Amino acid sequence: MNRDKLFVLISPALVVIILDQLTKQLVRTTPSLQNMDLIPGWLALHYTRNPGMALGMDWFSTPVISVIAIIATIGIFTYILKTMHRANKPYLFCMGLVLGGAFGNIIDRLVMAKIESYGGILDGHVIDFIHFNLTISGYPVFPYIFNVADIAISTAIISLLVFNRRILPEENKEEAIEMESVTPEQEVSNSEIDTDSARDQNL
């Protein structure tokens, strides 16, 4: 396994986990930070505990959501390791942000219920505290409260979507280029070949 690639994957993940947990602990243990305007009308700190999924979705019980999050994160990590040989460093950096964000929130789910004495393992609620509270005509632009882990995941996903041609694994890029390089004439020719082959088989 390429150590440089592994470093590019693990380093952002560790940074995100450390920043996420430090900021959560700071806000959780500092009452003055739990409801404070940073930029009035734009950005504030509002301490909340989210028992559900991202963006406040509450489709399952907290333990079930915790198990789903753990399984999904392990699956993503396994896939990254298996495809690392053809992945470039920008892609691995983005996936490191995703893993760091996922593990940061999983830590909350595993330990916060015990720390705050409201449940057992897997009962923990994710701590959110960053609130982009801008409103237009009385409607919030973004009504959700989030954390550092969420920022890391969102940044990685947006980067993958915007710069996908440059940072997707090499094999995927080659397939995309091959698909784009097929001209209409080639498509017609291929279609005629397929039709002739089908006719021969029928005969």
Separation of alpha carbons 131 and 7, rounded Å: 32
The contacts of residue 113 (CB under 8 Å, 6+ apart) are 119, 120, 121, 122, 123, 124, 125
Q: Is 20 a catalytic residue?
A: no
Catalytic residue among 4, 58, 123, 150: 150
What is the bridge-based pairing of β-strands 135-136 and 139-140? antiparallel
Gap between the Cα atoms of 78 and 179, Å rounded? 28
Catalytic, out of 58, 128, 194, 196: 128
**pLDDT score of 1:** 62
Q: Which residues does the chain have with pLDDT short of 70? A: 1, 54-58, 169-203
The pTM score is 0.78
Provide the angle, in degrees to the nearest 10, between the axes of the packed helices 148-162 and 3-29: 140
Going from N- to C-terminal start, the domains of the chain cover: 3-168, 172-203
Would residue 200 show up in a list of annotated catalytic residues for this protein? no
- Per residue in 69-106, pLDDT tens? 999 999 999 999 998 888 999 999 999 999 999 999 99
Nearest to 16 by CA among 125, 96, 73, 82: 96
